[in-house]
Amino acid sequence: MLYVQQSLAPGEEILMGARFHWMYTVQAVFWILFGMAIGIAIGYGAIWWTVSGEIKAIYGDLPQDVYAKAWHQVVMQHGGYLKILWAQHPALRFSILGFFLLGLFFFAHLMIVKATTEIAITNERIIYKKGLIARHVGELGVDRIEGVSVSQDVWGRVWGYGTVIIRGMGVGEVILPSLIEEPISVRKAIQESRSIQGKKRAANKEMPDEF
């Protein structure tokens, strides 16, 4: 939390640093696997269509055991699966590449968000920083917080992740990123920070005026 450490005021301490749950990384990896799966499915479909069509045109209907030998022979005649795939229409090849790149793009985007997001609860405020090139920093003093709620679905309760929603005076709802690890602990840290501020205000009121 480089930014948070640099922005701390004198006497300000970090009570808790929120971070993404490991399910967030699983979600990012899913996009790569999804792009690969779609690309492989399209490629295999094109190869199957080409080879099976050629077998049917040359040999007609064949028994299963003979069909497997004919498949192997046709593939070898074309020089292998990659050459069959390369001989397909350019639009099909670009669609396969496009799905691979799409999965890679979403993976990179999610991981960059994870690497550049900092969320911290201090004894005075909540700091939420995100962005790599264009940086966005949100801060909310704990004395302006009206309430904190946690949203978790069934899997979130099982695996321990969720979304923290903060209601602030004059700013409406501040929703932290989804898939935050241990959102209940984040809420408790915010409540602890509010309690510290409440004690400070009470102590300041009890101090006699100095002349």
Average pLDDT score over residue span 88-112 = 94
DSSP for residue 176: P
Task: Spell out the domain ranges in the chain.
Answer: 27-112, 118-206
Residue with structure tokens 């409406």?
172
Confidence of residue 97 (pLDDT cuts 50, 70, 90): very high
pLDDT tens digits, residue range 47-83? 999 999 888 888 888 788 788 888 888 899 889 999 9
**192, amino acid identity:** E
Mean pLDDT of 180-191: 93
Determine the 3-state secondary structure of 95 from DSSP.
Answer: helix
Per-residue pLDDT band at 210 (split at 50, 70, 90)? low
Could you tell me where the beta strands, DSSP code E, fall in 66-192?
118-122, 125-130, 136-141, 145-151, 161-168, 172-175, 180-181
Reference 178, options 164, 196, 194, 159; nearest CA is: 164
Q: What is the pTM of this model?
A: 0.80
pLDDT in tens, 158-178: 999 999 999 888 777 888 888
Rounded distance between C-alpha atoms, residue 86 and residue 95, angstroms: 13
Amino acid 62: pLDDT: 79
118-206 CATH fold: PH-domain like (2.30.29)
Amino acid occupying residue 54: E
- Residue 185 predicted with pLDDT over 60: yes
Find the angle CA(23)-CA(96)-CA(25) to the nearest 5 degrees: 10
**pLDDT for 94:** 94
User: Per-residue pLDDT for 211 more than 60?
Assistant: no
Mean pLDDT over the full length of the chain: 88
- In the block, tokens 């009570």 appear at 15
